[in-house]
Amino acid sequence: MTFPDVTQPIREVSVSGIRLRFAASHMATLGSILEPLHGHNYVVACRVEGDLTADNWVMDFSVLKELLRSQCDLLDHKFLLQINSDQLSIKLNEEMSSYSIKHGDRTYQIPATDVVALAIENSTAELIAEHIAEAVITKMSTINARNLRKITLEVEEMPGQSGIYTRVLPSDPNRR
């Protein structure tokens, strides 16, 4: 049996709780079934792993919270639309400034101002977590966070029920 190299310490910071939340509606697809339109009061938590900076921290808590809050604010009080779905027929009617969403014999017309069109296949907690994490990773590249190695983002849609996304970050400062 081999054991991991313990000579390299693992350091992490995590944030959760107050103001890392958003209320949003969605309709996930389960195979060929479309859930009824409904909403959740989502709660976001994030953990980042990395080396200590010259100031002896992995990442400033306030910076991480601000990156997450900005993403939560974008999703708050919106309809989360999975535009890469192969189960939904989605059309943006620019004249009416609304989305037409069709599944079987059900059609929804939702004002575009109430929609956040996410480039995901389904509006599950797991894919929403991935969407938020990737947006945060993109923003991290502008704040010189080269010391970070991994991000884990959790989106709780109700107590005891979460989707989690973890990504190991490339060492290249121009991450993507």
- Cβ contact 138:119 at 8 Å: no
Residue entry with tokens 């109700």: 158
Instruction: State if pTM tops 0.85.
Output: yes
What is the fold of 12-86+121-167? Tetrahydropterin Synthase; Chain A (3.30.479)
Q: How confident is the model at residue 170 (pLDDT cuts 50, 70, 90)?
A: confident
Interhelix angle for 61-75 vs 125-140, to 10°?
130
Structure tokens at 67: 């990156």
Taking only the tens place, the pLDDT of each residue in 65-78 is 999 999 999 999 99
Signed CA dihedral, 75, 79, 84, 87: sign only? positive
Taking only the tens place, the pLDDT of each residue in 33-89 is 999 999 999 999 999 999 999 999 999 999 999 999 999 999 999 999 999 999 999
- Rounded to 5°, angle at Cα 142 from 140 and 147: 50
Contacts of 9 (CB under 8 A, 6+ apart): none
Structure tokens at 66: 């601000």
